Structures are given as structure tokens and as C-alpha cells.
A and B are shown apart, each in its own frame.
Chain A
Amino acid sequence: MNKALFGLYLFFTVYVSSLRELNLLLLLFFVLFSVLFALKRRRLKGFFKGFLYTALFSLMLSLPYSLWSSSFDYSIMMLLRVLNLYMLTLMFISTVNLYSLLSFSKTLSFLLVISVSFTLAYRRVFENFQQALRSRSIEKPKRQELLNFLRRIMGYFFERALRDGQEVTMAMKSRGFDHD
């Protein structure tokens, strides 16, 4: 099921990215918008923020050209195409389990799981470090202090990355995972 949905997603991505007819793009926009709304609300966390950000970014790139050439069809076409691709991707990510999609390769699915968990953990620690610097600085930190901070956190994450890599390798070996 997941693989079939992935195939469909790839087909539609190529199809939508090659569309240029405004009527078709508009029709697709309403269809995708309706389907996304029909999905459960919890699956659409952050939908509108992303929608707005994507629309603004698209307009930022296309509007200067439209103003210069007095052709607003181009901006509308790009806006609809970009938003359709955004909604298509969101629908795919919210419907398909990416880990089971990659389950054909044990190594690949393991790599994705472990990378996501490391990245999320490191990001949380990094945010804590940044907040710690802010809360402990009465005045705005000077450039040299920021460079020192940068040096220390890089040292920390560097050592942690090497240690985590080593620990997980040993844990994998002890559990008989030798497809590395």
C-alpha cells in the first residue's frame, strides 16, 4: 500500500511540476485543498503556517518578474503550482509511513530512524544551550564570547557524535545486526 502511494505521489509530483494551464492548476488546487481538509485535523499540524510561508516565498520570487513584465499570469501559475506541490507532499507525508516505505532495505530504514532520533535529540540540546547562553547573559554577548560559545558547543556535539556512533555500533553488534 505504502509503495503504491509512493508511486502515485512521484507520478503526480512530476505531473504537477510540468503543468502550465491555469484552469487545471486551479482545479487541482481545490481538489487537493478539499482532500487535505477531509483528513483528520491532527494530521495537518502546522499546515496553514507552512501554506502561508510557501505562498509568500513563491510570491517573493515570482512577483518582481510579474511587475517588471506586467504579466501576472506567471505569478498565479507559479503560486498554484508551488502550493499544489506543497499540499501533495504534505498529504503524502501525513498518510504514508516513511519508515515502512524504506523497509525493503533494513540498513536504509535503520539509518533513517537513527538519524531522525539523533537529529531531534541534538536539536533539543542545541536549543537548550542557546537558551542557557541568553538567560545567563545580562548584556548582549560580545563577538568573542559568541565565538567561544560556538567553539564549545561544536566540541561537545563533535565528541557526542563520535561517542554515539561508537555506542550504537556496539549495541547493534551485541544484538546481532551485521548488515552494516
Chain B
Amino acid sequence: MHIPDGFVAPQVYLPAYLLAVGFTLLSFRKLKEAFEEGKVPYIASLSAFAFIVGSVAVPIPGGTSVHGLGVAPIALLFGPWVAYACFSIVLLLQVILLGEGGITTYPINLLAIGLVGGFSAYWFYRIFNRMAFAVFLSGFLSTLLSAIFMSILLGVHPYLFKDPSGKPLYFPYPLSLTIPAFLLPHLLVGFAEGILTHIAVKHLSKRLRHE
């Protein structure tokens, strides 16, 4: 999912920063309602948990394994605002500590994974609540929606930003190529995210009720 610096135009990432920072402030305020006290330690520890959830390789049929994003389990267990707050920290740490993604693409990754991924997982679960595979579906579909969001943001670049001779200045591939190129591999990632979400939510929601 991560895209490197340099492929996104400032006209896209600067407004994205405004949106992402605004949502981050709002999510921290919402977190105060979720945890009556100890907001900071809980964001920190849940961010570390989200970091680990996103690092685990999920075995999928065919003998291979794929890394999930980890946002859907957090969104279903603690709510989409908590997931967004945690991922604002997780993605920042990935940029600073691991060099994954970039400083200009940070808000885009955050909006795609934290906002679209977290909220869609939550709402898909509410829509399919009565189905047997509601949890799996919410993880699977939210990943696909994040990928579609990201591919549209990147895929509009060649139409909007080109030099007088028509050559692209940033991301070069049009929507007709970007959407399938993002969606196909994310079918596997989504499947892994679905399994991860199913295991995490079924196993951990009982523990959370006891807390």
C-alpha cells in the first residue's frame, strides 16, 4: 500500500495534510470519550498493538502468507476513531523508524488506511451484522475500499499534472491501469486482513468484555 515520496503532487498532499491533521485532532478528542482517563498511554499502547497486528503474516490457502493492514480489527474492537488515532501514530512511526512510505505520502496513506479502511470496516460490519462472515467481510471489503481510494488518488495524477508535451510530472499511470493494478494484489491482502480481523475480533472481544 505504501507509496514513496516524489510520486504525489504537492497540490494533492498539502490539502491531504490539512484533512489528515484535522481528523487526527478530532480522533484524539473522540478518544477522550472512549477512555475516561489515560488517553495518551492507551493511544500509545494500542498503536504498538496495531503496529504488531499489521506486522503479522497471515497464512492463506496455497501455502503462502500475506501481511494484513491491521486497521479493521482495531476499528471493530475499539471503534473507527480509535483506529484512526492509532494509525496516525503507527504510520508516523513507520516513516520515522522504518523509512516505509514517505513524509509527503503520509497523509494519503493515513486517509486511505486510517480513515477509509477504519470507517468502512466499521460500517461494513454494521451492514452485514447478521451474516455469519460479517467480521471477515468487513476486513476484506475495507481493504479493497482503501486500495480503490488510493488508486483513484494516484490514478488522477497523469490527467491533472503533465508538461506541455503531455508527459506526466508525477505518478504516470491512468485510472484504467491503476485501479486493476491495485485491486488484484489487494484481493490477497484483503483475504489476509479478513482472516486477521476474524481471529482478532472473535478471540479478543470476549476478553475486552471482561475488562
- Contact check, A58 vs B42: say whether CB atoms are below 8 A apart: no
Partner of B167, one of A74, A161, A173: A74
- Contact check, A85 vs B5: say whether CB atoms are below 8 A apart: yes
What residues on B are CB-neighbors of A146 within 8 Å? 59, 65
Assess A165 versus B172: contact at CB under 8 Å? Given A150-B58, A155-B203. Answer: no
Nearest A residue to B56 by beta-carbon distance? A150
Partner of A114, one of B13, B40, B61: B40
Q: Which of A42-69 contact B (CB under 8 A)?
A: 50, 53-54, 57-58, 61-62, 65, 69
The answer, yes or no, to whether A153 is at the interface (CB within 8 Å) is yes
Number of chain A interface residues as a range: 35 or more
Assess A54 versus B40: contact at CB under 8 Å? Given A147-B199, A153-B56, A158-B204. Answer: no
- Contact check, A18 vs B37: say whether CB atoms are below 8 A apart: no
- Contact check, B4 vs A143: say whether CB atoms are below 8 A apart: no
Q: How far, in whole Å, are A98 and B92 apart by their CA atoms in the complex?
A: 12
The answer, yes or no, to whether B43 is at the interface (CB within 8 Å) is yes
Assess A166 versus B38: contact at CB under 8 Å? Given A13-B104, A17-B6. Answer: yes
Nearest A residue to B11 by beta-carbon distance? A18
The answer, yes or no, to whether A111 is at the interface (CB within 8 Å) is yes
Residue-wise interface mask of B (89-104) relative to A, using a CB-CB cutoff of 8 A (1 in contact, 0 not): 1100100110100111
Binds A, one of B44-52, B115-123, B130-138, B139-147: B44-52
Q: How far, in whole Å, are A165 and B45 apart by their CA atoms in the complex?
A: 6
Q: How far, in whole Å, are A33 and B196 apart by their CA atoms in the complex?
A: 42
- Contact check, B167 vs A180: say whether CB atoms are below 8 A apart: no
- Contact check, A154 vs B48: say whether CB atoms are below 8 A apart: no
What residues on A are CB-neighbors of B52 within 8 Å? 122-123, 126, 153, 157
What residues on A are CB-neighbors of B112 within 8 Å? none
The answer, yes or no, to whether B126 is at the interface (CB within 8 Å) is no
Assess A114 versus B199: contact at CB under 8 Å? Given A13-B103, A180-B39. Answer: no
- Contact check, A154 vs B104: say whether CB atoms are below 8 A apart: no
Q: How far, in whole Å, are A154 and B37 apart by their CA atoms in the complex?
A: 24
- B92 shortest CB reach to chain A, Å: 8
Q: Which of A92-135 contact B (CB under 8 A)?
A: 93, 98, 107, 110-112, 114-116, 118-123, 126
- A19 shortest CB reach to chain B, Å: 10
- Contact check, B38 vs A119: say whether CB atoms are below 8 A apart: no
A-B contact pairs, 10 of them (CB 8 A): A18-B10, A20-B163, A84-B6, A86-B102, A110-B40, A119-B90, A154-B199, A161-B48, A161-B49, A165-B38
Q: Which residues of A contact B (CB under 8 A)?
A: 13-14, 17-18, 20, 50, 53-54, 57-58, 61-62, 65, 69, 71, 73-74, 78, 81-82, 84-86, 89, 93, 98, 107, 110-112, 114-116, 118-123, 126, 143, 146-147, 150-151, 153-155, 157-162, 164-169, 172-173, 180
Q: In the A-B complex, list the 6 residue pairs whose CB atoms are closest, starting with the nearest.
A: A169-B38, A118-B48, A168-B41, A82-B6, A161-B49, A85-B5
